[in-house]
Every structure is written in C-alpha cells, then in structure tokens.
Chains A and B, each alone.
Chain A
C-alpha cells in the first residue's frame, strides 16, 4: 500500500516550484521587492506622523471683537508660519497615550475657507459670532467629526472666562460634502485604471496569445492597431464616467459647477496621459503576471498618493509638490476644481498640457521599444 505522504515526491515538487518561482525575476520583484517598497512608502507617510495635524479655519463674519479667542489661543499655543500676512495659531494638545494633536487655527475669509474645505485642505470652519462659536463641517465625514471633537474639547478643557456657547452647523452646501470630494476623484481613478488595465493589460494579453503576431503578419498598419485600442478605451471611459456622474447626480445631487468644455479637455488629456503610460508599460512583456505587477506598481501608489479618497495634504509637506505633479493628481485636481470650485478653462489649461505631454512622451518611448511578437 502506498503511503499517504510521499516525502521525496513532495520535496521534489516543492523544489521544482520554488525554482520556477525564483527563476522568474519579474515574479520575484513584484512578489517580494514591490510590497516592501510599498510598505516603506506608506510607512513613511503614515507611521512617522503619529501626531495628528488638523487645519481649522477661523472665520469672523460678524465684525464683533474676537480678541478673547485670540488671547486664548496665544495663551495655549503660539502664532506661527507668518508669511505674506497669513499666519496661524498652532496649538499642541499633548497626550502620551493617544499621540499628540496639533491644531492649526487659520484666520481667513468665509469664501476662502469654503474653497479650502472643498479641496480638502481644511477639516472644519470655526465661525465666531461674539461669544458664540459655530462649527461648520460635513457630519458624514468621520475625519471632520474627529476634528470637531478635538477642537470642541480643546475650547471646553480651558473654558473661556465668559463661558462657552457652541453650535454645530452641518455643511450641506454642494461641494463641501465628502461625496462631492470623492466623485471627481473616482472619475479620475477610473480613467487611470481602465486605461492601464483595459489598454495595457489588453496589449500584453494579445501578445501572450500570439494574436498580435498574427495581426502584424498582415498589411495591417501598426499605428491603427494602437489607435483603435486607445479610441475604444476613451469611448468606454467616457461612458463609464458619464454613468458614474449620472448616478452621483441622481442619488447624491452632485453637480458640475464649472465649465463643461474645460472638463472635457482635462478628461481627454487624462485619457491621453494614461493611454501613453499603458502603451509604455505594455511595450515588451508577454507575461501577464509581470504585466499585472507593472500595472499595480503604477496604479497603487497613485491611488494612495493622489488624493482620491482623502486629501493628500495628510502627507508630509515636503512631499506635496511632488504628489501634485503625478498624472492622477493632475487629473483628479483638475476635475475636482471644475466640479466643486466652478473652475474654467484657464485653471485646467496647464495641467491638461502637462498630462498630454506625459502621455506623448511615454507613448513615443513605448513605441521605440515595442515588441510586436
């Protein structure tokens, strides 16, 4: 009777599969090196910042004196970042168990505060009317809620001499809700993922199936092959984004406040950017696993960094200028500015130019090294 476990056989099988795996450098990179790099990147972004930082606008529309609050803030913290007449009050709330919280109170006008709230650079607005403090934020945004609790606790823990009178005013203004922030980001992300997966992976798959080799054995123009793929992808993206917007409009009353032409321009530019990137990624490999890893390597970091689900202002200050140059950030910020800030052509012209150039450069580089069979 044969034994249930045949150690030699099992050992040989394990050895063979291990060899198969480690002899494929691509698999090794995407399986081991890439996750480490990702954890390193995300680790630096999030772990080092044990301290919570929250930016709060300080708005005074009433014209009444708010010297008492200013004195209070100065007593608890310090005036910082004085720059071109702009400044903020930095308050550090120390907590050994939960980590420190730093609150930045930034005096500004109501309009500016709303604009920054829409962009996600602010968590909340504290409006002062005499002794009354009105907290404006989106109650469905848990992060804004946390900010509110921290700020409210701060004012209450060091009660002002004349007592505290607080009111919470939920912001239901269009463009200030989390959903208004999220939808443009999702549209941008969809353009990226469907270009890279649909187009990039599609090309790799056609190469793997030898379909591409069969096609180029005909008088088919190679440029037509790529152009048709890019066009189909663009049309699909247009439909997908349209449906996503329609859904958001029907269910959440999300609207486009800016210029439609500008929106189409930045949308097209985004498609070109990611199509170019897709052609570049798909230019050589016929191994779908390597393709998988390559695409993830581009999609995943941008999805995390580019402020799709939360504002990228949560990342360290030094990294923000770099993040803002990423194609997905350019596209998401562009679409977002049109959707919620009512931006026009002039705002998206430069980002669109950057996106088109990115796409063009990657497309040409991809074509130079493109393997048809």
Chain B
C-alpha cells in the first residue's frame, strides 16, 4: 500500500473497487487493526488501535472475505453466541434474523446453508452490535445474481435506517455503483482515482461509449482507424471497435460518414454511458474482473 489517504464520514458508504490482488483486503485489514501500516496512521472516530482495541471492536462490524462459522451450530445459536460478546439480548438476535430474512433457516446448521444464506448470516453477525463502521470484504463474491441482490437490499435498507458508515471492497462495478456514494479505485496498492460516484464519471452525460462491428471479417486492423475523428480502439480478437464520442446526438453522423467514406459497412452499433469498468480500463488497460 502506498500513498493512501482516505477520510470516511459518518453515514457514508465507500467502495474500494479494484481487481483481485489490488490490495483491497490489505487496506481493510489495516482499518480492522490486524495489519499495521509500516508508515502512516489510521484513526477510527479519532482513536488508534493501540490501547483502544476493545472499544473499537464494539464500534466495528465486519464480514471477512471467507469465514466459516462453526459447522454444526444452528443459525440462531451462532447469532446468540456472537450476541453474547456484545452483551446483546435475544430481541436483537431476532431483529437480525428478520433483517437478513433467514427466519425459515434459523434452526438449520450453518454447514447446510447455501452460499448466499451464509453471507447473509455473516452480514447479520456484522450488524448485531449496530456498528458505527461496517467493513465488508467482498460480501457478494461467488454469489448468484439473486443472492447478490438480497445482500444489496439489506445494505440499502441499512443506509436508510442508520448512520452506519460502510467500507466495502468489491470487484463488481455494479455493486459499487449501486450501494456507495464514494468510490475509490485501487490497483497495485495505490489509489488510481477517487471521488463521489456522480462526479467520478463526471463527463458520462457528455461522452458516450460507442461499440460497433463491421461487415466482412478480413482486412480489418487497428491501424485502419488512425485517421478517425475520435480515437478508435479496435479489438482484433472480438472484431469490435470502441470509440468515445462527445455530444453524441450532434457528432455521431460525422463518425458514420467517416466509416462510409472508407467503404466500411456497419453490421452493428450501440452506444451507452461510460461505466466504472471503462474508467478502470482507460486507467490500467485491463478490466476489473480480470
């Protein structure tokens, strides 16, 4: 980790977005207090980990990338166990069971839960103590879209109903966009870009991404487009081209007439808003999910 400087405010949901191996978990572990930065400091609500561990543990809720709870303990029993660490009563346990929507599985052994149910349990445990800061390390990795949406809806509800700050690591841009207000893009232990979600892609309404393919599969190569009005990136493997066009309503005809002037016939063309993945690709030349 190098040159990381982050300030997270109360009630703010922050995404640490980056591909696998970007250093997201390391950063979270530093915040969590189990790794120490060689240089620099981390303060949580004004406090360092040294000497305040017990206090901070009570303020933080977390879900690790993969935790396996006690296999042959029931869901209810697992929650009761963790509730005992925070001196919480039975009522809170049932509130959590409702919140994570796992009523029908509360008597099931943890080992028999599906991946999604297990992640919801982990999230429920993280929320037991009404944490001021919630750290979620890839809470939806490996889950199917349905299970992922269930986790999201729990977090969206949490955002509405509490002042909890969330630090979430993910390599799904959709997850970061859907849940978080502030996005930090990380790669190789460094922050590449950060900012409020709506300003990170500040020119997204101005600029659109146009993806196109052409008739005839021979004689197409990247150098072909070097005189195009906007820089075209041509993917030889996919045989598709990508070009960023500002004010598309006005400027698209110019691009189309450039193509027809070169005797290139369009097979398909679509345009869309710029995404975080486009931003990441433009910064690193790679995709987030690589």
- Are A and B subunits of one complex? yes
Q: B66-88, CB under 8 A of A: which get 1 and which 0?
A: 11111000000000001001100
Asked if B68 and A209 make an inter-chain contact with CB atoms under 8 angstroms apart, the answer reads yes
Query: Which of B56-64, B140-148, B162-170, B251-259 lies at the interface?
Result: B56-64
- Is residue A210 contacting chain B, with contact meaning CB distance below 8 A? yes
Give Cα distance in the complex from A210 to B66, angstroms: 8
Which A190-230 residues have C-beta < 8 A from chain B?
209-211, 213-215, 217-220
Give Cα distance in the complex from A233 to B130, angstroms: 34
Give Cα distance in the complex from A211 to B71, angstroms: 11
Interface centre among A215, A217, A219, A220 (most CB of B within 10 A): A217
- Is residue B34 contacting chain A, with contact meaning CB distance below 8 A? yes
- Selected from A209, A211, A215, A217, the residue in CB contact (under 8 A) with B32 is A217
Asked if A219 and B69 make an inter-chain contact with CB atoms under 8 angstroms apart, the answer reads no
Asked if A211 and B54 make an inter-chain contact with CB atoms under 8 angstroms apart, the answer reads no
Q: Which residues from chain A contact B69 at a C-beta distance below 8 Å?
A: 211, 214
Asked if A211 and B67 make an inter-chain contact with CB atoms under 8 angstroms apart, the answer reads yes
Asked if B70 and A219 make an inter-chain contact with CB atoms under 8 angstroms apart, the answer reads no
- Is residue A373 contacting chain B, with contact meaning CB distance below 8 A? yes
Asked if B86 and A213 make an inter-chain contact with CB atoms under 8 angstroms apart, the answer reads no
A213-B34, A373-B34 in contact; A219/B54 too (CB < 8 A)? yes
Give Cα distance in the complex from A34 to B64, angstroms: 36
Asked if A214 and B85 make an inter-chain contact with CB atoms under 8 angstroms apart, the answer reads no
- Selected from B58, B64, B82, the residue in CB contact (under 8 A) with A210 is B64
A218-B57, A219-B57 in contact; A213/B64 too (CB < 8 A)? yes
Asked if B60 and A217 make an inter-chain contact with CB atoms under 8 angstroms apart, the answer reads yes
B→A interface (CB under 8 Å):
32, 34, 54, 57-58, 60, 62, 64, 66-70, 82, 85-86, 125, 129
A–B Cβ pairs within 8 angstroms, 17 of them: A209-B68, A211-B67, A211-B68, A211-B69, A213-B64, A213-B67, A214-B62, A214-B125, A217-B57, A217-B60, A217-B62, A218-B85, A218-B86, A219-B57, A219-B85, A219-B86, A220-B85
- Given contact pairs A210-B67, A214-B64, A218-B57, a sample of 15 additional A-B residue pairs in the complex whose CB atoms are under 8 Å apart: A210-B66, A210-B68, A211-B68, A213-B34, A213-B64, A214-B62, A214-B125, A217-B34, A217-B60, A218-B82, A218-B85, A218-B86, A218-B129, A219-B54, A220-B85
